[in-house]
Amino acid sequence: MAVNQVERAFRAWPVLTGVAKQRGTITYGELGAAIGVHHRAIRYVLATSPPFSVAAGFRARSNFIVF
């Protein structure tokens, strides 16, 4: 079965925006734990998330996470 990165990005979006609203940082490991994905797979999730940024009125970015 194929992995649905869009669905993972959808789950990651509220986590990322919550951290951004707090002006905080989050690691790949922390984001992975929050959405139930191994930290090494987070890069694929982030590659899918720019459309969510644009739809929410933000610039397309994939550098939300500091590791």
pLDDT of residue 49: 66
Model-wide pTM > 0.95? no
Burial class (CB in 10 A: 0-12, 13-18, 19+), 67: exposed
CA distance 58 to 39: 25
- What pLDDT digit, counting tens, does each position of 6-57 carry? 899 889 989 988 998 898 888 999 999 999 999 999 988 888 766 666 666 6
Distance, CA of 46 to CA of 33 (rounded, Å): 15
User: What is the residue extent of each domain of the chain?
Assistant: 5-55
Burial class (CB in 10 A: 0-12, 13-18, 19+), 33: middle
